[in-house]
Amino acid sequence: MRVLAIESSCDDTAAAVLNADGVRSSVVASQDLVHGRYGGVVPELASRQHVLAIVPIIERALADAHVTLDDIEGVAATYGPGLVGSLLVGLQAAKGIALARGLPFVGVNHLEGHLLAILLDRPVAFPYLGLLVSGGHTSLYVVDGVGAYRLLGRTRDDAAGEAFDKGAKMLGLGYPGGREIDRLAADGDRRAIRFPRATLKRGAYDLSFSGVKTALRQYLLEERGAPLADVCASFQEAIVDMLAAPTLRAAHDLGLETVVVSGGVSANRRLRARMEEEGARAGLTVLLPRFAYCTDNAAMIGYAGRARLLRGERHPLTLNAAATAPIGLPDTLPHAAEAGHA
């Protein structure tokens, strides 16, 4: 089945074409230049950019895959979680194509896309432990299969990417901040400043990143004057510590041998290195998607959507965008068959 997939949940407009051989094309239009000067995504501007980009991006994905809409056999799009104004643009485009062409349509949970992105590059045996670290989410899941996710823990406050972005803003760096901190931290001393690591009493695998953000603000207010690279490296190290420790503990506790790290923050070089080193030491296989599939893209939505379409799952064209749509919580599993729309 040749599937057209669309993703527009935040500030990237993306489309991809997948068939049985894998990804035939994957195109992403970034809005970094639009939001950069605000130090974060401005929802109204994001929606408007999506409106401008969506048709050219779909046309480009089709052209790169050397196909036309006549060759497409199914359509998938992100329905949530995300910014509703952004989600609606990609979702409406997908539903419009499905309606006009009489094609099967399925909505995909953005988090599911991230958790399965690794499967675009290689087969991975289920179950695996999935650490999802993005700008909006930081959660640990057991991935038992496509559509079968168990939430183990999640951040109680900020997502890890949000902590990076807010930290970068305090440091006067560009957006997205995670990438900037990653770049500057490469030449810094990780031990220069000891930022606090949050440990939570309840919720064995829950995480918290608001403390480290406050600690950075406090440090900057007191102007203790370490070089910027050292501040970045120390701040990054605290976040990486708080991600790596519970993940490795969960893998050990649950006897899972494979750990998959996904989402925008999985592009972080220090997190990748630490997870690979410490995972190897613990006898675990740690897998990371290629960079292009770490940050938002439509190929991962296509993977999840195609798998669901092949299983016969369909959503009605009344499917709406959802700002919050946590997978791993039973009442919101986006399983069309269970919901009676099959």
Q: Where do contacts with ligand KG4 occur on this chain (CB under 6 A)? A: 10, 134-136, 161, 164-165, 176-179, 182, 263-265, 267-268, 295-296
How far is Cα of residue 306 from the mean position of the Cα atoms in its chain?
A: 18
User: What's the burial of 92, exposed, middle or buried (CB within 10 Å: 0-12/13-18/19+)?
Assistant: middle
Partner that binds at residue 165, options Zn ion, ligand KG4, none, CB closer than 5 to 8 Å by kind: ligand KG4
Partner that binds at residue 179, options Zn ion, ligand KG4, none, CB closer than 5 to 8 Å by kind: ligand KG4
The amino acid present at 104, given as its one-letter code, is P
CB of 333 to ligand KG4, least distance (A): 19
Helix (H, G, I), strand (E, B) or coil at 78: strand
For strand 12-19 and strand 285-287, is the pairing parallel, antiparallel, or unpaired?
unpaired
Partner that binds at residue 7, options Zn ion, ligand KG4, none, CB closer than 5 to 8 Å by kind: none
| CB closer to ligand KG4, 37 vs 202 | 37
CB of 154 to ligand KG4, least distance (A): 14
Query: How far is Cα 41 from Cα 169, in angstroms, rounded to an integer?
Result: 12
For residues 64-88, one letter each, b for 16 or more C-beta atoms within 10 angstroms of the residue's C-beta and e for the rest, the string is ebebeeeebebbbbbbbbbbbbbbb
The conformation of residue 121, written as its DSSP 8-state character, comes to: T
| CB closer to Zn ion, 104 vs 161 | 161
For residues 25-62, one letter each, b for 16 or more C-beta atoms within 10 angstroms of the residue's C-beta and e for the rest, the string is bbbbbbbeebbeeebbbbbeebbbbbbebbeebbeebb
| CB closer to ligand KG4, 134 vs 155 | 134
| CB closer to ligand KG4, 47 vs 134 | 134
| CB closer to ligand KG4, 74 vs 79 | 79
CB of 117 to Zn ion, least distance (A): 9
The amino acid present at 54, given as its one-letter code, is I
CB of 100 to Zn ion, least distance (A): 28
Comparing CA positions, the residue from 152, 137, 187, 126 lying closest to residue 323 is: 137
CB of 245 to ligand KG4, least distance (A): 18
Residue 221 structure tokens:
């207010």
Place of tokens 């893998």: 251
| CB closer to Zn ion, 134 vs 138 | 134
| CB closer to Zn ion, 133 vs 248 | 133
| CB closer to Zn ion, 49 vs 134 | 134
CB of 9 to Zn ion, least distance (A): 7
Contact present, 267 and 164 (Cβ < 8 Å): no
The residues binding Zn ion (CB under 5 A) are 134, 296
CB of 101 to ligand KG4, least distance (A): 29
Partner that binds at residue 176, options Zn ion, ligand KG4, none, CB closer than 5 to 8 Å by kind: ligand KG4
Partner that binds at residue 158, options ligand KG4, Zn ion, none, CB closer than 5 to 8 Å by kind: none
Query: How far is Cα 77 from Cα 301, in angstroms, rounded to an integer?
Result: 7
| CB closer to Zn ion, 284 vs 288 | 288
The angle at the Cα of 140, spanning 291 to 151, to the nearest 5 degrees, equals: 135
Residue with nearest beta carbon to Zn ion: 134
Contact present, 93 and 51 (Cβ < 8 Å): no
The torsion angles phi and psi of 138, rounded to 5 degrees, stand at -145, 105
CB of 186 to ligand KG4, least distance (A): 10
CB of 134 to Zn ion, least distance (A): 4
The torsion angles phi and psi of 279, rounded to 5 degrees, stand at -65, -45
Partner that binds at residue 268, options Zn ion, ligand KG4, none, CB closer than 5 to 8 Å by kind: ligand KG4
Partner that binds at residue 289, options Zn ion, ligand KG4, none, CB closer than 5 to 8 Å by kind: none
